[in-house]
Amino acid sequence: MSNRTFTMIKPDATSKGHTGAILDQMIKAGFSVKAMKWIQLSEAQAGAFYAVHKERPFYGELVEFMCSGPIVAAILEKENAVADFRTLIGATNFKDAAEGTIRKKYATSIGENAVHGSDSDENAKIEADFFFSGLERF
Ligand code: CMP
């Protein structure tokens, strides 16, 4: 997975019609799509995906938000994928994100921050495996 990362376009961005523009920015930045699905998570699924944040004060709000509408989940490939993708999306808090980054352009709060990007190769594999079987990726 070292040249792959995992992303989600979150419900705030899909509901505002930003999915196409966000995917276009990812592809133009050199990422190729190795798996993709458009789905709405159940509360249990969103809770399981973000279980690592279970003890954080924002966990309930995060889970409620992530199952409030459809998301696009994808595996992306590029050399140095995890680090380069985090540069492309910008800081978790869009107020700290660099100009031109996806979160700077589309996020509206620290929670409703338009996209998710894996923070390590190890988590990219865990997160990709959460969403995609072997048959669903290439
Ligand atoms: P993400 O990169 O998907 O990883 C964890 C998510 O938790 C993060 O993006 C935000 O959506 C959310 N999050 C992180 N910090 C906060 C916070 N302080 N308040 C609300 N949501 C947060």
Measure 135 CA to ligand 1 centroid, in angstroms.
Answer: 30
User: Which residues does the annotation mark as catalytic?
Assistant: 116
Closest Cα to atom 11 of ligand 1: 111
Residue 112 near residue 10, CB atoms below 8 Å: yes
pLDDT at residue 101 in the model: 98
Residue-wise over 86-108: b if at least 16 C-beta within 10 A, else e? bebbbbbebeebeeebbbbbbbe
For residue 1, pLDDT over 90 is answered with: no
Kindly state the tokens that stand for 113: 């921050």
Structural domains in the chain, sorted by start: 4-40+69-136 (3.30.70.141)
Distance between Cα 24 and ligand 1 center (Å): 24
pLDDT in tens, 4-45: 999 999 999 999 999 999 999 999 999 999 999 999 999 999
Distance 65 CA to ligand 1 centre (A): 10
Q: pTM to 2 decimals? A: 0.97
**Ligand 1 atom with the shortest distance to the CA of 8:** 3
